[in-house]
Structure 1
Amino acid sequence: MKAFMGLFCLFLIVFDLRIIGPVGSSVLAIVIMLIYSIFLKINIFENLIKVLTFYKYSIFIFMVICFFVVFRILVDSFQDYSYFLSMMKATLILISSLIYIALFEKKDTLFYLFMIFFINSLICFYFGTYPENKFIIKYFSYPVGDGSVELIGANEYRNAFLAGSGYFGIAALYAFVFPVLLYYIVEQVNSNKYIYYIMLFVIACAGLMAGRVALLCYFISLITFLVFYRKISIIFYIAIGSFIFINIVNNVDELEFFKLWFLNLYSEGGRESSTIQELKTMFYMPDELTFLFGDGKFKGEFGGYYGSTDVGYMRNILFGGIFFCFFVILFIFSILFKSNKFFLIVTLSFIALLLHGKGLFIINNPGFLPIILLSIYYSQKYVSYKALK
């Protein structure tokens, strides 16, 4: 029962399914966890205090960010409160993540994280291969914003997940969680590791189908893994996995459009070339006043993204200025530096900063907070098996 609840609630928190209108499944997860704790007479408050103490500086920075968002919107006379709604969602996800850690305080939590991504990967493969059945999962997805419609690309697998987000939003999660799952296999799995490596391969393929940016993040993870763990055998696994993946894509007719979509990355006339060119135009220097204090706007006047950019850094600066952007970045490091696992610190730092350069990822991607909070907390709380030898 506890294992099912751990998996189910974590799935709701990380993938933030749309339940009613703008309300995400993190709210449902909070209700379920509180009822579950009352039903089993579990006193989670003592554990919750421990978790809050562990992340006290990060929570303080998060509160500063929230207060600034409210202040900046008030200064602008509530002309655009969309960023406030986004931060409200992030706050609910933060609360649900902290309650989850306090309620399911056990080593199996990283295993639960592993399994929910594996399960959603299988869901992706099914609905991407049989898109006529997507109506089953479509209700749980949020509408795609106008500002990203032109950059989506044609691939049925990109929005075939049981999640509130698709495309870059879900691809970023898979890219971000990859080093955490790799860390889990090396540090906490003591037997039958090859099964977990196969499952990780399946997860990596699903992430790659969601967005090509995942490939670069996988590469960063594997490079840092070789640097910190010096396991040359990983090269063998990569070669075998790549061989299998290429053969599957080349020989399965249902994946033909995915192959064409992926190969366009290297095509001068392909959609990705224009996407990269458009992404370059999204980095620009705003005027001095906007650079320092922002404009207090998040959405464009006629829809889409304010300032015609979906780059995370630019959207932070355009809303609240460079100092606001600094506090957003400071938030992630305040969490990562709670760990002494240098592989996680370095890899998650690189990947998060890279993804934030592609889109709004840090804090405002629903799965960002539960992944980083659970990963750092449990990587510290439990000593690795090797360390006990």
Structure 2
Amino acid sequence: MNNFMSRFLLFLIVFDLAIPPVKFLGSSIFALALLMAEYIFNPQRFKYIAHSIDYFKIPFLILYIIVLYSIFRVGIIEFTQFQFIGSLFKTVIILLTIVMYTGRYEKEKIINNVFYIFILNSLICFLAGTFPELLKIVYIFKPDVTLTTWITYRNAFLSGSGFFGIATAYSFALIALAIQNKKRKISVSFLLQILILMIAGIIAARTTFIGILVAWSIFTYYNTKQSIIITSSVAVFILIVVFSGIFEGIEAYTNWAFEMFINLFNSGSLSTSSTDHLGRMYFLPSSEWSFIVGDGLYTTNDGKYYMNTDAGYMRHLYFGGTPFLVLLFSFVFSFLLKSRNRNIVFLLLVVSLIFHIKGGFLLHNRVGFPLLLILCYYYGSRKNEIVKKSISHPTSI
């Protein structure tokens, strides 16, 4: 029962399902309520939460300042940005939930549960994407069932977040899997885990290639032979799937997933339609005021991106100017202050900064961002021997 609850709560926190009839709240608030009830009915558990509070207290303080600054900034223009302020309060709730969750469960159980819930959601994606009746059930827990795509499986994750958010989470899961097993001998079950997470992540969004690249680099740095085995196994699997004809219409999927590499081969340009679009999202503000304190706008009155840019840094710059970006970077790197494994935590934080180039990841992503906080705590609160040790394979569903 304890294992079930720890996994169930983590699933609610990380994937933030849109639970009817209050879909706008997200499932993380239900996880918070369940955790609070457990602490209230078992007061002795409060003594175990001190370490989590100590680790997160500085980031929480900076987040508090960010919220105050944001309220002040939008107040200047008649407080029209309710969506942005609401998103920040949701971040506060997520951080509180993570503090209570990490204080409740053992660290080894937490990292095992991370792999477990991602394998589970991958299987849900594969099944729901294949069987329409199951997909209808998944849609119940999504905030917008009108969201469609020609790749059915992209809609099949049991998550309240969109494609980009899910992909960032899978990227961190792959990186964590590489860190935990970088010196472990290759096994069939391990290769299967990698394949499942890679396939599901790429289905969500091609952003997952960032996580794959970082994970591959970790394997290569610690064990070149192991990296060659993993790379060869994945390549053979891809070739079998693409050329075997087992899956109908697989060419359209692979053309989309590997567009960057196809373009590189055909034209020598390592780009996709998404990267071309991203390049147009960065431009210099026309007003010095935007640099100094921002325009106080995150979205327009009709709900569209302000200045028609969805790039994370641009949206924050236009909202709160340079002070907001300074606070944002302070929040991110504050996790290093209490971290013992600073190299690993720094790597995770750098990846998060890269994700924010693409879209609003920091503070606003409801899947990848909570997982980042959990992994920072897991690695940051451990001694450096984690670099030298690996744990057993956690996922046996």
Alignment TM-score > 0.5, same fold: yes
Tell me how many residue pairs correspond in the alignment: 377
- Note if contact 1:48-1:98 (Cα within 8 Å) is conserved in structure 2: yes
- When residues 253 and 211 of structure 1 are mapped into structure 2, their CA distance, relative to the original with a 3 A threshold, is same
Mapped to 2, the partners of 1:366 and 1:198 lie a distance apart of 27
Equivalent of 2:194, from 179, 192, 200? 200
Mapped to 1, the partners of 2:205 and 2:31 lie a distance apart of 27
Q: How does 1:1-389 map to 2 (within 5 A)?
A: 1-19=1-19, 20-39=22-41, 41=42, 43-131=44-132, 133-143=134-144, 154-186=150-182, 194-227=188-221, 229-250=222-243, 251-254=245-248, 256=250, 257-265=252-260, 266=262, 273-286=272-285, 287-336=287-336, 338-341=338-341, 344-379=344-379, 380-381=381-382, 383-384=385-386, 386=388
Shift of 1:122: 0.6
Residue type of the alignment partner of 1:203: L
Residue type of the alignment partner of 2:38: Y
- When residues 387 and 16 of structure 1 are mapped into structure 2, their CA distance, relative to the original with a 3 A threshold, is closer
Mapped to 2, the partners of 1:69 and 1:249 lie a distance apart of 49
| Structure 1 outlier segments of 4+, above 6 Å | none
Q: Deviations over 1:304-348 (max 9, x none)?
A: 211101100011111111221222122222214543435523432
- When residues 88 and 249 of structure 1 are mapped into structure 2, their CA distance, relative to the original with a 3 A threshold, is farther
Mapped to 2, the partners of 1:263 and 1:114 lie a distance apart of 25
- Note if contact 1:129-1:254 (Cα within 8 Å) is conserved in structure 2: no
SS state of the match for residue 184, structure 1? helix
Shift of 1:192: 8.4
Normalising by structure 1, what TM-score? Answer: 0.88
Tell me whether 130-139 or 92-101 shows the greater mean CA deviation: 130-139
Tell me whether 203-212 or 367-376 shows the greater mean CA deviation: 367-376
- When residues 60 and 225 of structure 1 are mapped into structure 2, their CA distance, relative to the original with a 3 A threshold, is farther
Residue type of the alignment partner of 2:127: Y
Shift of 1:103: 1.0
- Note if contact 1:175-1:351 (Cα within 8 Å) is conserved in structure 2: no
2:395 corresponds to: none
- Note if contact 1:127-1:160 (Cα within 8 Å) is conserved in structure 2: yes
- When residues 230 and 259 of structure 1 are mapped into structure 2, their CA distance, relative to the original with a 3 A threshold, is closer
Shift of 1:202: 0.7
Normalising by structure 2, what TM-score? Answer: 0.86
- Note if contact 2:179-2:218 (Cα within 8 Å) is conserved in structure 1: no
Mapped to 2, the partners of 1:122 and 1:10 lie a distance apart of 17
- Note if contact 1:224-1:343 (Cα within 8 Å) is conserved in structure 2: no
Mapped to 1, the partners of 2:94 and 2:248 lie a distance apart of 36
Shift of 1:207: 0.2
- Note if contact 2:356-2:362 (Cα within 8 Å) is conserved in structure 1: yes
SS state of the match for residue 193, structure 2? helix
Mapped to 2, the partners of 1:185 and 1:255 lie a distance apart of 35
Mapped to 2, the partners of 1:178 and 1:210 lie a distance apart of 14
Mapped to 2, the partners of 1:295 and 1:311 lie a distance apart of 16
